[in-house]
Amino acid sequence: MISSPEKNVNKWIIALTVILPTFIEVMDTSVVNVSLPHIQGSLSAGVDEVTWVLTSYLVSNAVVIPMTGWLSNFFGRKRYLLFSITLFTLSSMMCGSATSLGMLVVARIFQGIGGGGLQPLSQAILLETFPKKEHGMAMAVFGMGVVLAPILGPVVGGWITDNWSWRGTFYINVPIGVLSIILTYIFIFDPPYIKKILKKVDYWGITFLVLGLGTLQVVLDKGEREDWFNSNFIVTLLTISLVSLIIFVYIELHSENPVVDLRVFKDRTFSMGNIILFFVFFSLFGSIVMLPLYLQNLMGYTAFLAGLVLGPGGIASMVVMPIAGILMKKGVKASRLLALGIIVTAYSIYLMSGFNLYADFISVAIPRIIMGVGLGLFFVPLAAATYITIPKEKMGNATSVFNLIRNLGGSFGVAFSTTILAQRTQYHQSILVEHITPFSKLFQYYFYKLKLFVWDWNVTFYQVSKTLKLVYLEILRQASMMGFNDVFWIMSILSILMLPLTFLMKSGGKNDAGPFVH
């Protein structure tokens, strides 16, 4: 229990205190997405310019996450947590009151800096607050924050933007942030081993970490738009990123006081957990991003209605996560729940590969509900089992690395899925067009039927060209649908390939492993 000598704070109060700011911080990674067109019009920005509202936040957020363990040791966990929440709250006010795109981007950078530490800090505090046998329940609470938030983000953002203003998506953070500051000040205390470190600061490690992760996040966010390796901009940034990260790894492995202690990967269970986390979230976030694109671009859903399709899956996760935590507390092996979660998640994505242009709301929502169940069964045991052999004094560093891997998995997955969608759509379009010729009996038949449906018998050249245009638009829709099917199928395969790795995760020992013993 994290408490002062004078107080014994209830663990559920601590859980509420740390999850509240984490939830709104994670939700901010997706809540602004649906507001971009409104921001673009309000601040007179171009399409390429306004996307920096998203990129600036993701870059600063990604850079801070791995440094959280070191920063909390250096400044004190409670002090750093208060600083992070305060900066996030103040920068949210700046975002909402921005009068220019430049001001908004700068405010988003500070918002990402303030929010970056909240995920690892909340996870570390929960794991130390709850006894080891209740780590499953602790991770259920954490999962409800970091997994549901990006799913609910588009729904909340769409509703606020439609009924109020895009500025409301930022202002809503302020009262929650103020409440979080008060709760943190009252109920959160540093454990005995957290002391201010006065050793030499790892300046070179910080420099190459910032440079490597910052440029990598820009590459992942802008790669598809810039046509990847055909762009000198992307190639240059990727080279800088790779060189910087290689130097960073070398420095950290030879530093006495590394900003990120990479030696934690010597723990096999921790390493396997992070590999599974990366690839499953790679598939998961790639699929979640594809779903609203399919609904809006091909099925004609509004952003709000597309968000509602994600809602039932979020509710399913919210129900299943606490159940998974209870099952682990009662002795069910984490490896079994984890394997089941991967199977259910992969199956749900496979079902999405069967979507078509005639699917109704229920047909689309059911695979999302199944995915929500799988996600609840997957994330809770994985997050708990990954740390089973990590000592408490190294928990801050381990949670920082874990959350970085989770974010990178999602970023890589989104970049990969959007690229594969574009490529497979072009491929299917080229195949379909080959069959659309004046000599095709089938084409002649349906073209004739379409003419009669759209026009009268007196067909002019203009009407023929308009009919051909309708045929071409339908080809594009069909090719795009096939592209979505291919992406979902690939993501389901990548997910199920992680199943054997669950058997390589071992517990910390017979006496302290609790439900993690294999």
**pLDDT range class, residue 508, cuts 50, 70, 90:** very low
pLDDT tens digits along 352-363:
999 998 888 889
Tell me where in the chain the CATH 1.20.1250.20 domain(s) lie.
1-199, 263-518
Confidence at residue 2, expressed as pLDDT on a 0 to 100 scale: 43
Confidence at residue 303, expressed as pLDDT on a 0 to 100 scale: 66
CATH number of 1-199: 1.20.1250.20
Is residue 474 pLDDT above 60, yes or no? Answer: yes
Q: What whole-number distance in Å separates Cα of residue 77 and Cα of residue 100?
A: 35
Q: Which of 84, 77, 83, 80 is nearest to 61 (CA)?
A: 84
Q: Which pair of tokens denotes residue 467?
A: 């009919």
The residue among 195 and 14 whose pLDDT is bigger is: 14
R_g of the chain computed on alpha carbons: 25
Q: What whole-number distance in Å separates Cα of residue 221 and Cα of residue 58?
A: 9
Q: What whole-number distance in Å separates Cα of residue 505 and Cα of residue 384?
A: 12
Confidence at residue 150, expressed as pLDDT on a 0 to 100 scale: 72
pLDDT tens digits along 206-230:
889 889 988 888 888 788 778 888 8
Task: Compute CA distances 350 → 259, 304, 449, 490, whole Å.
Answer: 40, 25, 35, 9
For residues 8-30, average pLDDT: 82
How far from each other are the two terminal CA atoms of the chain, in whole angstroms?
Answer: 27
DSSP 103-125: HHHHHHHHHHHHHHTHHHHHHHH
**pLDDT range class, residue 86, cuts 50, 70, 90:** very high
Amino acid at position 328, single letter:
M
**pLDDT range class, residue 450, cuts 50, 70, 90:** low
For residues 284-305, average pLDDT: 81
Q: What whole-number distance in Å separates Cα of residue 313 and Cα of residue 366?
A: 8
Is residue 91 pLDDT above 60, yes or no? Answer: yes
The model's pTM is: 0.79
pLDDT tens digits along 350-399:
999 999 988 888 898 899 899 989 988 888 888 888 888 888 778 888 88
Q: What is the mean pLDDT of the chain?
A: 82
Is residue 173 pLDDT above 80, yes or no? Answer: yes
CATH homologous superfamily of 263-518 equals: MFS general substrate transporter like domains (1.20.1250.20)
DSSP 442-496: HHHHHHHHHHHHHS-SS--HHHHHHHHHHHHHHHHHHHHHHHHHHHHHHHHHHHH
Confidence at residue 206, expressed as pLDDT on a 0 to 100 scale: 86
CB neighbourhood size of 79 (10 A): 15
State what percent of residues in the chain have pLDDT above 90: 19
**pLDDT range class, residue 451, cuts 50, 70, 90:** low
Confidence at residue 511, expressed as pLDDT on a 0 to 100 scale: 37
CB neighbourhood size of 157 (10 A): 26
